[in-house]
Structure 1
Amino acid sequence: MTSIVSAIIVLGILIFVHEFGHFLFAKLFGVGVEKFSLGFGPKLIGKKMGETEYLISAFPLGGYVKMVGEGGGDELSDEEKARSFGEKSPLRRIGIVVAGPGFNLIFAWFVFIAVFMVGVPSATTKIGEVVKDKPAAKAGIVAGDRITAVNGKKVDRWEEMATEIAASKGPSLLVEIKRGGETKAFQLKPEMRTGKNLLGETVTSPVIGVVAAGETVIDRYPPGEAFSRGSVQTWNVIELTVLSLVRIIERAIPLDTIGGPIMIAKMAGQQAEAGGVSFLAFMALLSVNLGVLNLLPIPILDGGHLFFYLWELIFRRPVSMRAREIAQQVGLALLIGLMVLAFYNDIARYLVGNG
């Protein structure tokens, strides 16, 4: 139940942010908005305020903003034409389309900044296990030691220590540790390990054979540093998302890693149980994914509409209705195929498998 409620909260917030971006820019550019819906399908509840009907619909996997002139079939008065989406310049239509994914990225940026201000848990350099016959064990390092420096550079967080070890180019490392009240230094030769990274790439990196004790501290940052770290984190997640999509297309990352609603619900529940900061970070991560995916040049998605309006802006004429219809059909088929794959993976992972 926690997973379902958490997923509804996350998706509800992210869908609202996305559709609010479209809604706000439509209003700014003088476009009338007939409907603002969280969810698709049959209306559950709704209230009309001014010209806009605000809805919560049955299927919470998306949402939509219906603007004046969209959908066709209705004769528009001169006043309605002036406020219709199709009558606006390509640049304004581009602004309205980009605003949805853009708001998701901006929202993630704000959340990451807030996370760094509230405080993020960081593992200390206390060692919980030393792997037998690995460089650290051979040098004399033992469980309970706390690493204080690598090659003369002070470290007090596990990530800092791992970064220094990974960045080392020489045949040996000078590792300083604290054991009780005593400080010791060990010269050791790292072992090169080959494996796959998050993008499915084969990487070789130096390791010394130690496992973190799991001791954590909360690192809180002042607004200025939180702004900087949040900005870097947002960019890193955007970059990772784009590269992951490229690697999936290249088949470097297997298709069975793609997840759907069940995976989102399960992860949302796990992050909610882990605490508010983890839940917020997960929501920011998902918001970046939603923003980037919606900018893909696939008809049906915002990126597909963006492509059409950029074409119109460059060539001074709109894409033909026939071409748009064919593209929409292809886009719909691709989207349905992706959804089927995601549902299949979810079922295989969580219902058939042991996930």
Structure 2
Amino acid sequence: MQSVISAIIALGALIFIHELGHFIFAKWFGVGVDKFSLGFGPKLIGKKVGETEYLISAFPLGGYVKMVGEGEDAELADTDKARSFAGKPPLQRIVIVAAGPVFNLFFAYLIFIVVYMIGVPAATTRIGEVVKDKPAARAGIQPKDLVTAINGKLVNRWEDLSGTIVESKGQPVELQVQRGKETLTFRVTPEKRTAKNLLGDVVTTPVLGIVSAGEIVIDHFGPVEAFVKGSIQTWNVIEITVLSLVKLVERAIPLETIGGPIMIVKMAGQQAAEGSVSFLAFVALLSINLGILNLLPVPILDGGHLFFYFWELVFRKPISAKAREIAQQVGLVLLIGLMVLAFYNDIARYFMAQNQ
């Protein structure tokens, strides 16, 4: 039950933020909004405020903002044309449609800033395991040693330690180690290890043959530093998300890794159980994924609509109704196929877990 509630909170927040982007800029440009719905399908509850009816609908996997004149071929009254979505210039329509995904990206950015201010877990440079017959073992490094400096540069986090080793490009490094009350120095030449990374690329990296002890501390950051780190983290996640999509198309990442609602529910529960920071970071990750996916130039998604409006902006005329209809049908088939694949993967993973 906790997993379901966590997933509803996460998805509800992301859907609300996404639709809020569309809503705010529609109002900004004078477009009438008939409905603002969290979810699709039959109305569960709703309240009309002014011209807009605010709804919570039965199926929570999405939402919509219904604007005056949006997707309507019927003639509108002159008073409605001035405040209809279809009656606005292409550039304004582009901004209204793009606002949803952009709000998701910005929301993730704000979450990461908050996460860094609350405090993020980080591993110290305490060594938990020294792999036999690897460079560190041959040099005399032992488990429980605490690395305090590399090449004269102080280090106190495992991320900095591993990053410095990678930057060495296989050249010898000098490790200063605290062992009990002793301070020892070791000169170690990393060896090259070739393996596939998360994106399916074969990479070669220098390694010493040491494993973190998993000694965790919480790092807190002030607003300025959190702003910088939040910016970097947001960009890194966006970059990884885009690269992952490219690798999926190239089949470097197997399609079996695609997850659906069941996987989201399970992960939401796991992250919520680990604490507020883990759950917030998970929501930020989902928000970026939602934003990027919606920007893909697939008809029926925001990115597909953006393609149509950019076409109209450049060529001074809209795409024909027939071409748009065909494109949207293709987009719908692709989206349904993706949903079926995601559900299939979720179910397959569930039964595999049950049989283990």
Amino acid at match of 1:155: V
- Other-structure match for 1:303: 303
Which residue does the alignment assign to 1:137?
Answer: 137
1:126, 1:13 → 2: CA distance? 39
Aligned residue runs from structure 1 range 93-112, under 5 A:
93-112=93-112
- Scaled by the length of structure 2, what TM-score is found? 0.97
Where 1:317 maps in the other structure, the secondary structure is coil
The superposition leaves residues 198-222 of structure 1 with CA deviations (integer Å, 9 ceiling, x where unpaired) of 2110001111111111111111111
CA distance in 1, matches of 2:189, 2:317: 65
Equivalence map 1:319-338=2 (5 Å): 319-338=319-338
Could you report, residue by residue, the CA deviation over 1:273-325 in whole angstroms, capped at 9, with x for unpaired residues? 11101111111111011001100000000000000000000000000000000
* Distance in 2 of aligned mates of 1:73 and 1:48: 25
User: C-alpha separation between the residues in 1 aligned to 2:230 and 2:219?
Assistant: 14
Task: Specify the SS of the correspondent of 2:300.
Answer: coil
The code of the aligned residue for 1:139 comes to: A
1:11-54 Cα deviation digits (max 9, x unpaired): 00000000000000000000000010001111111111111111
> Shift of the alpha carbon at 1:172?
2.0
- One-letter amino acid of the counterpart of residue 218, structure 2: I
What residue ranges of structure 2 are gaps of 5+ in the alignment?
none
Identity of counterpart residues, as a percentage?
A: 71
Kept in 1, the 8 Å contact 2:170–2:206? The answer is: no
> Is contact 2:193–2:204 with CA below 8 Å preserved after alignment?
yes
RMSD value, Cα:
1.2
Contact 2:311 2:319 in 1 (8 A): yes
Contact 2:169 2:205 in 1 (8 A): no
The corresponding residue for 2:128 is 128
Q: List gaps (5 residues or longer) in structure 1.
A: none
Q: After TM superposition, list the pairs within 5 Å mapping 1:54-73 onto structure 2.
A: 54-72=54-72
Q: Which has the higher mean CA deviation after the structures are superposed, 295-304 or 219-228? A: 219-228
User: Match of 2:329, as an amino acid?
Assistant: Q
Please say if 1:16 is aligned against 2:16: yes
Is 2:318 aligned against 1:318?
yes
Match for 2:98: what amino acid?
Answer: V
Give the alignment's TM-score, normalised by structure 1.
Answer: 0.98
SS at match of 1:87: coil
User: d(CA) in 2 for partners of 1:313 and 1:220?
Assistant: 47
Further displaced range: 39-48 or 314-323: 39-48
1:31 match: 31
Distance 2:63 2:152 in 1: 54
Task: Work out the CA distance in 2 between the residues paired with 1:73 and 1:47.
Answer: 28
**Residue 352 of structure 1, CA deviation:** 3.9
Q: Which portions of structure 1, spanning 4 or more consecutive aligned residues, are displaced by more than 4 angstroms?
A: none
